[in-house]
Chain A
Amino acid sequence: MVEQAEIRVVHQGGSNITFREPAISSDSRFLLCASGHNVKVFSTVTEECVQELRGHADLVTGVLLRPSNHLQAYSCSADGTVRLWDFTDGILIKTYVIGYPICSIYASASHDGVIFIATPTKGYKTLDSLQLLAVHLPQTAGQLVETSDLSAVLSDVSANPATVAFGRAGEYVASTNGVQLQIFFFKKQKSFRFSLKENSCSGRSNTFTCVACHPTDDCIATGHEDGKIRLWRNFDQKREYTYRTLHWHHSTVRALCFTPEGSNLLSGGVESVLVQWRYQQESQQDFLPRLGAAITHIAVSPDGALFCTSHSDNKIVLIQSCVKVSSIIQGLVKGEAVQTDLMVDPRSKALVLNGKPGHLQFYSLQRDRLLFNLDVVQQEFIHQEGLDQFQVVMATLDGAGAWLATVEERKQETAEAELNLKLWAFDEPSQSFVLNTTVSTPHEVRITAVTFDPAARGQTSLLVSCGRDGLFKAWRLAVPAHPDDGGPSWTCDFVSAYHGLTPQRCCFSADGSLLAVGFQEVVTVWSPASWELLLTLSQPPGIIRDLCFGRLSCSKFLLGTTSSNQLCCWNLLTCSLEWSTSMEVSLLLADPLSDNMAAFCHQDGNTDLFVFKPSEPRPLFSQKAVCSGRVSRAVFAPREVALESCEESSQWLNRSQLYFLTPLMDLLTFSTRAEEERLMTASKQLVVDDSVAMTPFQLLLGKRRPHHQAAVEDPAVRPPADRPVPPGGSAAVRELLQSPAHVLPAAAALCSVFMEALLGVATETRENETSAGETPSDPEEEEEEEDSDQEMETRATRPERGLLETDSADPVLSRAQVRELRRVRKLDHSWFSSLLDS
C-alpha cells in the first residue's frame, strides 16, 4: 500500500469562477474572483490568469478590494479565516482567524479597519439563518492574527450574498430576507423593516433577490423574483417611505449594481440581458442582449470604466462602460449533468464535453482553459426557465479527429422527441468543425449509442448508431451521385435488428474489423466489412450495460458489464467466457494507448477504481473510495510526454492520464508524485513578472523587473508622472526617432537592424542576469552573434550605398551609426517596455 500512496486524486482545473461576485482592481487591469479554494487574478486585457492566490483550506466565499488600499484585497473562506493579499504580487499579507465559517464579506470605505462578514448564527449549523458581524481588524504585526472584537450588526440575513448592501458613505446597511427589507443606520443605531405581500396581484412571488444602494443618494434598489426592480426612498421613516417599480425583466432579477457615480443602475437576470437604467430617467434603458447565460453577479470597477457580469455557465464577461463587450473569461462550463461522454480531441488534445446548452466545449486540460465552443444546435437559445430546448445528448469523435458526430434531442410532451444526428467535418483552414450532414430523426425513438469505427480513415469512415426502436444503423460517407451536389455526405449504409431487442451499446474493436452490439442480454458480434452476424454471446441474467474490446495484446477479449453486477470477459477466439467476476461496475473504459482497462465500481455509496489487464487475473492498481457517488463519465487522455515510471502500480499512468467527473461535476484526475514534483518546478520557473500579463514579447523585455517592482511596492508614488523617463543616454536612438522621416533611410531597411539590436539586448542582459556570479557565457558564441549581426547590417545597408553617392548629405545609417546603435542597445531600454506597459 506504500506504493499506492504515491498516486492520489487531484482536482484538475475547471473550478467555478462565478461562485461569488468578482472584484475589479481600481485601475481596471485585474479581475479577482473566487475559484474553488483559491482566488484567481485575471488580466482584464489578455484574459489570462496572472496570479493564483493559494492559501485557503476551504471554499473561498468572497473577494473584496480593501477600501483603504486598492492594491490589497480581502478574501474570506468557509475555513473561518479572512486573508489580506497583495494581489499584484500574490503575497499573503495577513490572515485573520475568525473561527466561524464565513459566507460572505462586505466592507465600506467609511468604516476603517472594520469588515463585515456573514456567518451562521450560533447554534445553527445550517445556512438558513445568518448574522452580519462587524469585525474590527486588530492592527498588530505578524502574519496570523486572531480577531476577537466581533459585534453583531444584523441578524436574520439571507444566505445569498447579494442581499446585503452598504448605503451612501456607509451610513446604513440594507439587507433583505424573504419579503422583508431591513435597514440599519449606524449613527442612530436604529433599524427599519419594510415588508411586502407574499405574492403580487398577478400571483408571482414578491421575494427579494438582491439589493443595491445608491453611492451618493439615499436610494435603495431591490430586485424581486417576479422580475421587478423597486427603488426605495425615504426609508428612514417608518410610514412615509415610497418606492417606485421598474419592470423590464420577465423573470427573477439576479443582480443589481449602481455605477460608482450613481448615474446608472445595472441589472441582470435569467434573460441574460444586461440592462442599464439611467438613474432618475428610468424610462431610458440600454440593453446588452445575448450574453450567453443567466447573469448571476454584476460588478463595476471603482472608476466605473469597466463592468463585469458573471454568468451561470462559468463565464465572466467584461464590458466597457459604453455597453460593449471587451473580453470574456470562460472557465469550464458545467451544466447540471454531462450527457455526452467525455472525449479527447486527437488534434487539440482537448477534453470535449457538453458546454453551454446546445454547444460542445473543447477544454484544454494542459492550459486549464476553454479553447472554443462548437455550436451544435445552431438555434437562438431562449433564456427562459422551464423551456424545453434542444440538448446535445451524444457526441463522438473518430480516430483521427476528422469527423465529429453529435446527437441532439428535444423532448416534447405533445409529440415524440425530436432527434437530429449531425456529422461535422474538421476544416483545416478554419481549424474547427464544419457541419457536413444533418440527419433528422435517424431513429424513430431515442438513440442509445453512437460510435465511429476507430481504424477507418478518410473516405471509409463508418458510424454506427443504435436506437430504442430496436435497430442499429451504419452510416457511411458517400460521394454524391451528381458532381454539382457538393461534397460527400453521410448516408445510411446498413440497417439491422436482432429479434426486436433494443440495442443498448455498441463498440468497435481497435482495428475496426469487429463490431459488438449489445442487445439487452445478448452481445452480437458483426463484421462491418460484410455485415454478417458472426457470433452471439450472452450471460444471463442481466442487461448488457457496457461493452469494450481489449486493446493491443488483449484484443482477443471482449469485456462487458451487466446490470446484474457481473463483469464478463469473453475470448473471441474460442467464443467462450474467459472469466467473470461479480462487481457493480458503473463504467468500463479501455486505455487507447495500452492494454489496460479501468473499471469504476460503485459500492456502498463510494466509487472504487480498478485498473487491470484482461489477460491477467490480478488488478494492476486499485483504489477504494475515489469519490463519493457514482462515477459515470471518465476518459483516458493521452499524455504529450510519456512518464517513465517503473513502479508497477503507477505504470498504467505512463502513457495516458485518467480523468473522471464526479456526480458533483468536479473534474478529477490521478497524478503521481513524480509528476507533481515536476509541475511544481515548472510553475516556479514560470513566475517572471507579476504585474504584466505574460506574453512572449514581455519575456523579451522582462529585464526591467526589479526596477518596476520597486515602483509597485510603493503605491503612493506610483502615478504615471513617476514613470521612468526615457534614458537620455540613448542619443542615437533619440536622434533616430526625432530626425524627420524623409531624411532617414527606408523604414524597411532600418527596422530589422533596430529590432535586432533590441532583441540582442534582451537576450544578453537576461543571460547576464541569470548567470550572474557564474562563468560568463562563451566568448566565441558572442563573437558569432556579432558576426551574424554585422552580416545582416551590411546586407541591410547595401542598397543605401548608391543613394549615398548621389546624396551624401543625408544622414544614412552608416557603419559608424550602426556601431552607435549597438552601443545604445547596451544602455537601458526600460523606457521602451514601460511604453509597452502603458
Chain B
Amino acid sequence: MASFKPTKIPVYPKLGEKVTQDTLYWKNYKAPVQIKEYGAVSNIDFSPVAPHNFAVTAFSRIHVYGPFSQEPVKTFTRFKDTAYCGRFRSDGQLLVAGCEDSVVRLFDVSGRVALRMFKGHTKAVHVTDFTSDRYQILTGSDDYTCRLWDIPNAAELSTYREHTDYIRCGVTSKLNRDLFITASGSYDHTLKVFDARAEKSVMTMDHGQPVESLLLYPSEGLLVSAGCGRYVKVWDLLKGGQPLVLLKNHHKTITCLALGSNGERLLSASLDRHVKVYNTTTYKVVHNFDYAAAILSLALAPDDESIVVGMTNSILSIKHRKHTEESKEMMSQQRRRPSYRVFVKGKNFVPKPDDYLVSKPVKEHLAKYDRELKKFNVSKALDASLEIWLRKKKPEITVGVIKELDRRGTLKNALAGRDEEQLSQLLHFVIGNIVDTRFAPIILTAAEMILDIYKSVIGQSALIDQQLLRLQNILESEINLEQELLEVLGMLDTMFATSVTRKEVPYSDVGRSNGLAQGEASSSRPELFRPPEIK
C-alpha cells in the first residue's frame, strides 16, 4: 500500500551570496596574521624571485618580510621623512623608494645603507619603479615631473613635465624598456604613456577623476586605472587608449589594484574597507573581502599564496592559503577505499540474458522524526527534530516538523509535558527563530501554545523565567522595528506618488453613452492614477 510520505521540509531560498568556485577559492585562506606597523601602510611589493619576500612601506620605514615570518627579515630605516613606494627590481636584489624629502634612495636588499641617492626632485616623490632593463629608475613627484635616472652613476637621464598636477602613481612596462606610464593624482585626471626615446608623451587618456592606482596586464595590452571617483576603468592600449570597461563597485576611493590567479582575477582595494575580486573576462565581481579599516595597499603573492593588505590604522594583514586539504583528502581516500569496495560488491554483476531477477523490496529510509511521526509519537518526533545539530544547522527541519504537528492537530500534545531542560531547549529554539520571517507564523503559534501550557509553572525556574523575559524583549524590539519600517514605507509611498506625473485619462463620448468607460494606463502602478469614473 501507499508508503508513508515523509514530512515536507520547505526549501527556502538561500540568503546571502551564492557559493561558487570563486568563493570557495577565495575563502580557502587561513585566519589572517595581523602585524602592527609604525604608520599607515602605503605600499606593499612582492619580490619577483623566490622566496617572494615582500617590502612593506609604512611611515618612515620599509620592512621586508619573509613569506611565513611574522617578524621583518630586513628593515630600512634611513629615511628622514615618510617613505613611499618601496619596490623590488626584477632580480629581487635592489629596492628603490621615494621619500617625502624628495630624495629617492636605492638599497641593496642585503645592506642597510642606501647605495645611491637620486636628488633632483623638489617635492615628495610618491612613485618609483625600475625599468625592464634593470639599469634605470622611473620616479614621479609632487613637483608635477617624472624623471628617468641612470642607476650606475645616479644621473638624471630625462625629465617629463607634461603633468599639471601631483603624480601619484605610475608603472613601467615589463616588456619594453623604454615605455612607462604615469598618472597624476588630484587635479590632472590624465594617464600618460611615455616613451623614453621620445621627448613627449605618446598617448594621453582622461580618467575623469584623480587617479590613485595603475595596473598593466601581463600582456600589456590593457591598462587598469582607479582612483577617487570610485570607478575602475580598463583601457585598451592597443586601440590607442580606448576605454573598455567601467566598473563601479566601490563606494569610496579605490586605493590599490592587483592581479591574481595569473591575471585571471583583478582585485581592487578601497577606502570603503572592501577588496573586490573581479573576473577579468566578464568583469563581474566574484568575491568580496571585508577588512577592519580603510585599505591603502594590497598585494598578492604569486599563485595567490598569500594576500597582504595594509590599512590606515597601520595594521598589516597577511592571509596565507590553506594547503592541508590535499593531504586530508588523500588520507580520507585511503580510509574510504575498503568501504567503497563494500558498496560496489555485487553491483557490477551483469546478469545473463535468461537469468530471472528477484528484486528485493527497497527499504525506504526515514529520518528519525519521520519514524516517530509514522508511529504517531508526537512528543518524540518533536524531540528528534530539536536535536542540537538539527535546530542549529537546519532550523527549517524543526519548523517543518512543528508545522506537520500543527497540521495533525497534535502540536499542543507534543509541546506539553516537558521538564525544565526540554522546555528550555524548546524556548531557546523559539527565541532564536521567532523573528525569522520564514518561520514566524508557525513559531508564533507554537509560542502561544507554550505560554498557554506552561503559564502555571512560571516563576518556578529561574532559567525558564529568564528565557521568557528574553522572548518578551525580542518581541518588543521586533514590534518597534516593524513600526519604523512601516513609517519608512509610508514615506517612500508618498515620495513615489509625488514623483509620478499625473496623466489625464481620456474619455470617449461613445464609451460614456454606452455606459462604458475606457481607460488607459501604461505604468505598472495603475493604482496611482486618479480613479476613472465608472458610470
Contact = CB atoms under 8 A, between A and B. Distances in A.
Interface of A: 288-292, 317, 325, 375, 378-380, 382, 384, 387-390, 410, 414-415, 438, 440, 482, 494-500, 521-522, 524, 531-533, 535-540, 574-577
Given A539-B515, A575-B514, 13 more contacts: A290-B4, A378-B5, A379-B8, A380-B5, A380-B373, A387-B408, A499-B531, A533-B519, A535-B519, A536-B516, A536-B518, A538-B516, A540-B515
A790 B8 CA distance: 62
B18 to A, nearest CB: 7
Nearest to B535: A540
Contacts of A482: 18
29 contacts: A289-B1, A290-B2, A290-B3, A375-B5, A378-B8, A379-B7, A379-B8, A379-B404, A380-B4, A380-B5, A380-B7, A382-B407, A382-B409, A415-B442, A438-B10, A497-B526, A498-B526, A499-B531, A532-B521, A532-B522, A533-B526, A536-B518, A536-B532, A537-B516, A538-B515, A538-B534, A539-B515, A540-B535, A575-B514
A290 B1 contact: yes
B534 A522 contact: yes
A382 B410 CA distance: 11
**Residue with the greatest number of chain B CB neighbours at <10 A, chosen from A292, A317, A496, A536:** A536
A389 B527 contact: no
A410 B441 CA distance: 14
Given A382-B408, A387-B409, A415-B445, A575 B516 contact: yes
A524 B532 CA distance: 12
A389 B518 CA distance: 44
A165 B338 CA distance: 65
Interface string B5-42: 11110100000001000000000000000000000000
A634 B516 CA distance: 31
Contacts of A410: 407
A628 B511 CA distance: 41
Contacts of A382: 407-409
B534 A292 contact: no
Interface in B374-418: 404, 407-409
Interface in B129-148: none
Nearest to B511: A575
Nearest to B520: A533
| Ranked 10 nearest A-B pairs via Cβ | A533-B521, A380-B5, A576-B514, A290-B2, A497-B527, A535-B518, A499-B531, A536-B519, A290-B1, A536-B517
Interface residues on B, range: 35 or more
Contacts of A496: 524, 526
Contacts of B3: 290
A317 B1 CA distance: 10
Contacts of B531: 499
B527 A500 contact: yes
A384 B510 CA distance: 60
A575 B8 contact: no
A538 B6 CA distance: 50
B517 to A, nearest CB: 5
Nearest to A481: B18
**Residue with the greatest number of chain B CB neighbours at <10 A, chosen from A382, A494, A539, A540:** A382
**Residue with the greatest number of chain B CB neighbours at <10 A, chosen from A384, A500, A537, A540:** A537
Interface in B493-535: 510-511, 514-522, 524, 526-527, 531-532, 534-535
Contacts of A497: 526-527
B152 to A, nearest CB: 57
B279 to A, nearest CB: 14
**Residue with the greatest number of chain A CB neighbours at <10 A, chosen from B1, B448, B532:** B1
Contacts of A289: 1
Contacts of B6: 380
B524 A575 contact: no
A524 to B, nearest CB: 8
Interface of A is mostly: loop
A499 B527 contact: yes
A341 B192 CA distance: 73
A498 B4 contact: no
Contacts of A415: 441-442, 444-445
A550 to B, nearest CB: 18
A572 B182 CA distance: 69
A379 B527 CA distance: 39
A384 B409 contact: yes
Contacts of A577: 514-516
Contacts of A499: 527, 531
Contacts of A521: 534
Nearest to A323: B1
Contacts of B510: 574-576
Contacts of B8: 378-379
A161 B8 CA distance: 41
B48 to A, nearest CB: 38
A524 B516 CA distance: 11
Given A290-B1, A533-B519, A389 B407 contact: yes
A391 to B, nearest CB: 12
Contacts of B407: 379, 382, 388-390, 410
Interface string B431-447: 00000000001101100
A414 B2 contact: no
A524 B527 CA distance: 13
A288 B1 contact: yes
A498 B1 contact: no
Nearest to B514: A576
Interface string B93-124: 00000000000000000000000000000000
A438 B11 CA distance: 9
Contact of A494 (B7, B442, B448, B524): B524
Contacts of A317: 1
Contacts of A535: 516, 518-519
Nearest to A420: B10
Given A575-B516, A575-B518, A577-B515, A325 B527 contact: no
Nearest to B522: A532
Nearest to A317: B1
A423 to B, nearest CB: 15
B372 to A, nearest CB: 13
A286 B407 CA distance: 28
Contacts of A538: 515-517, 534
A477 B10 CA distance: 21
A577 B513 CA distance: 11
Nearest to A524: B519
B408 to A, nearest CB: 5
A540 B526 CA distance: 22
Contacts of A575: 510-511, 514, 516, 518
Contacts of A574: 510
A349 to B, nearest CB: 27
A379 B519 contact: no
Nearest to B6: A380
A577 B2 CA distance: 55
A292 B1 CA distance: 8
Nearest to A324: B1
A531 B409 CA distance: 44
A382 B406 CA distance: 12
A229 to B, nearest CB: 20
B520 to A, nearest CB: 7
A48 to B, nearest CB: 21
B515 A531 contact: no
A538 B441 CA distance: 40
Nearest to B406: A412
Nearest to A410: B407
A388 B404 CA distance: 12
B513 to A, nearest CB: 9
Nearest to B527: A497
Nearest to B508: A575
B352 to A, nearest CB: 14
Contacts of A388: 407, 409
Given A538-B534, A577-B514, A325 B524 contact: no
A531 B520 CA distance: 11
A270 to B, nearest CB: 14
